[in-house]
Amino acid sequence: MKEVIVIAGPTASGKTKLSIELAKRLNGEIISADSMQIYKYMDIGTAKPALDEMQGIKHYLIDELFPNEEFNVVRFKELAEKYIEEIFEKGKQPIIAGGTGLYISSLVNNINFSETECDWELRKQLSREAEENGPGYIHEKLKQVDPVAAAGIHPNNVKRVVRALEVYIQTQKPISYHNEKSREIPPKYKYVMLGLAMERDKLYDRINKRVDMMLENGLVNEVRRLIDLGYSDSITSMQGIGYKEILYYLRNEITLEEATELIRRETRRYAKRQLTWFKRINEIKWFSIDNSGNTNTIIDEVVAYIRSHGA
């Protein structure tokens, strides 16, 4: 069975740098498992690798969609599997790198999220209920019909709560049932899973510094440009961390200092949720990164581990 390397971990842990070093060592190409880097014009706030950072390594699922285009786990899985095949056909090593746990799980566990059709009217209705009554209202609804799914979805993740409720209403079976059924079909590839970890205080310090750097590099102007290009602040991509907070600032609802602190706090919380998600995956081999984020000290160890698993 062909092997695909997966690099997971929280934001700001060094996944991008390690994936590029591995690709250089193993003749690889990289598929991004990030729900935001797919969008054009959204570079600074997504910590997207610049062209010179890529060092000539081909990247997929970066800069492929416009900000108002729909991107979800179903589309990610379809495109990722297509690109994995293309990379293998070139005689190269596919490397999946990113922090969106649901996307990575869709590949590793071969979860078929497309078993039910999208019901846009139902989605709108549920989304309105969340807006009018708060996200906790529909999360409680989900808890009543699918406690397993509710336990794994943060109440503020309205999009996933709505999707889980939609599946239940359509099929009268919880989304956890559909996920378990799809897992019965083994994945097409063997996934060699690596995780990057760092002491929490050090990780949070890196996150705070990264946010400061984003502001210095022009995050406010990036959001202004998106508005000038006609992208509504209500589209999904503009609700990403870093973008919605700057929108508050540009609407004079908060100060820039308040926006900066909000971005720091929400990014730290997101990192905590990422770690919780990935820690549940027993197959991940964890590697500790020092505070500088220097992956060079572990690259030989990582390569040795990958080669011992056949890749």
Annotated binding-site positions for ATP:
9-16
For tokens 């060699």, the residue is: 192
Report the length, in residues, of the chain: 311
The annotation places the binding site at: 9-16
Map the chain to HEC letters. CCEEEEEECCCCCCHHHHHHHHHHHHCEEEEECCCCCCECCCCCCCCCCCHHHHCCCCEECCCCECCCCCCCHHHHHHHHHHHHHHHHHCCCEEEEECCCHHHHHHHHCCCCCCCCCCCHHHHHHHHHHHHHHCHHHHHHHHHHHCHHHHHHCCCCCHHHHHHHHHHHHHHCCCHHHHHHHHHCCCCCCEEEEEEEECCHHHHHHHHHHHHHHHHHCCHHHHHHHHHHCCCCCCCHHHHCCCHHHHHHHHCCCCCHHHHHHHHHHHHHHHHHHHHHHHHCCCCCEEEECCCCCCHHHCHHHHHHHHHHCCC
Q: What's the token pair of residue 276?
A: 């919780």
The annotation places the binding site for substrate at: 11-16
Q: How many CA atoms lie within 13 A of 82 on its CB side?
A: 8
- What is the rounded CA–CA span in Å between residue 161 and residue 155? 7
Which candidate, 243, 240, 242, 212, places its Cα nearest to that of 227?
243
Q: What's the token pair of residue 242?
A: 């870093």
